[in-house]
Structure 1
Amino acid sequence: MAIVVLREPRKELSQDFGPGDPVDNIEAIHAAPADPDVSGDPDDRTFCGKSTLDMERVYYQPPGPGAAWLPANMQDWECRDCAAALRSQ
């Protein structure tokens, strides 16, 4: 099964209390099944059930069988529910 890795952004207000733009931070890294109709796009929901509409794609493919489903530098933000769902597949 093909998966798509997605970044769920977290919006925070500017720390300087000025007119600055919100700053993007990572809320979580999710996995979603690939859309069967559009190659490379995620399906409507992640494996944990969240909508993929406002998530950003992380261009990553595991290098081989048994490799982590997300990049090593993003493991601190791994969605545990997505990871559990992938392990049960």
Structure 2
Amino acid sequence: MPAGLLRRRTGAPLHDLGPMRAARRSALLELGLADRRFGYPLEMVLRAGAAGWRIAETEVDYLPRTGRSKVTGTLRGTLRAVSDMRRVMSELRPG
């Protein structure tokens, strides 16, 4: 997912769709998230941006991954992620 597109859609100064997101449970439920696969993080950020949430990206130290990613480590995972994210982007058009 190109970060520039995500920045334009949400207005948030994001550089990546990171693995960690934090929100109050009640507010998160109000977003009405529907995707249960690879599109979930993208849907959360897009819906939060549309709802006027404050979205922030914070740099953190981390260790290199051990093992293989279930998403980008396999062709099948990559194709599923791309497919799910395309679907979410088309379903949640601005306007």
TM-score higher than 0.5 here?
A: no
> TM-score normalised to the size of structure 2?
0.22
Structure 1 or 2: larger strand share?
1
Structure 1 or 2: larger helix share?
2
> TM-score normalised to the size of structure 1?
0.23
Between structure 1 and structure 2, the one with the greater Rg is 1
